[in-house]
């Protein structure tokens, strides 16, 4: 239910706010939903973040100064794959989820800046 409310709220904000529809904004919003949905929905595992991994790299191409978002997303994905690849959990998966939460928060802040403050994309 929380995911439903958050997604509807985000869609409402994106719909009512007039903004330039560019490649940069499309990639930012796609990455937002690619991280948000698997993060909030129950029983979603690391394999559902594959799209977020790819989109975070593309996002970094368009917004190079926000490279740390891609690093956080890929790091948390890699850490969540390790128990299945090697049978060991070097980092507690609760901390890995926290890293993904930070990536989502940084991305939300960037989206807010893009939509409401309209900062240039290279900042």
- Cβ neighbours of residue 13 closer than 8 Å, sequence gap 6 or more: 115
What's the confidence (pLDDT) of residue 26?
Answer: 86
% of the chain with per-residue pLDDT over 90: 35
Residue 58: pLDDT band (50, 70, 90) is: very high
- pTM of the predicted protein model: 0.83
In whole angstroms, what is the distance from residue 69 CA to residue 103 CA? 5
What's the confidence (pLDDT) of residue 19?
Answer: 66
pLDDT score of 31 more than 80: yes
In whole angstroms, what is the distance from residue 107 CA to residue 43 CA? 23
For the ranges 35-49, 75-89, 107-121, the one whose mean pLDDT is highest: 75-89
- The per-residue pLDDT for range 82-105, each reduced to its tens digit, is 888 888 888 888 898 899 999 999
């Amino acid at each position: 239910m929380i995911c439903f409310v958050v997604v509807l709220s985000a869609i409402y904000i994106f719909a009512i706010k007039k903004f330039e529809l560019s490649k940069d904004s499309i990639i930012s919003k796609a990455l937002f939903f690619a991280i948000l949905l698997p993060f909030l929905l129950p029983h979603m595992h690391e394999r559902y973040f594959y799209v977020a991994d790819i989109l975070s790299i593309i996002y970094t191409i368009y917004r190079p100064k926000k490279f740390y978002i891609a690093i956080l997303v890929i790091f948390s994905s890699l850490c969540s794959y390790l128990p299945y690849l090697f049978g060991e959990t070097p980092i507690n998966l609760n901390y890995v989820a926290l890293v993904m939460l930070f990536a989502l928060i940084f991305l939300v802040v960037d989206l807010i800046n893009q939509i409401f403050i309209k900062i240039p994309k290279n900042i």
